Amino acid sequence: MADRALRGMQIGSKSLESEDGVVFADRFEAKYVCSNGHEFKIAMAFDAEPPATWECRCGEVAELVGEAAEEDESKNIKPQRTHWDMLLERRSLEELDVLLQEQLEAYRNGDLIFDTDYRRP
């Protein structure tokens, strides 16, 4: 019964999609060599930077051949900005101290309540 329903079509063997109008990304091949002498190429996008190492099929670490896989130390690496850094860009320490005193005063007077039980409606 199942043979009749699927007659003329093998499941998984043929795609019904066509490649008409598909533009593939530009690629290049990065060449790697492992310590056992295996050479292989990996296709990568043209704008991708190939990693310095790649795992070979034998399990050894393969090194990139051809392009120099050195890091550019001339790049200026910006330090990661924390919340405190961004806060100090907007306010001075004196302004923050005044705001803290105002908030503490409001809390002591009962105007500001910190409710830690978020389950209540």
- Which residue has better confidence, 85 or 114? 85
Cα dihedral 85, 88, 94, 99 sign: negative
66-108 residue pLDDT tens: 864 445 556 677 888 999 999 999 999 999 999 999 999 998 8
Q: What is the structure's pLDDT at 66?
A: 81
Yes or no: say if 98 and 70 are a contact pair by the CB < 8 Å rule.
no
CA nearest neighbour of 66 among 33, 98, 94, 92? 33
Q: The whole model's pTM is what?
A: 0.41
Say which CATH topology domain 26-69 has. Answer: Rubrerythrin, domain 2 (2.20.28)
Asked if the model's pLDDT at residue 20 lies above 90, the reply is no
Q: Which pLDDT band holds residue 115 (cuts at 50, 70, 90)?
A: low
Q: Answer for the pair 42, 32: CB distance below 8 angstroms, yes or no.
A: yes
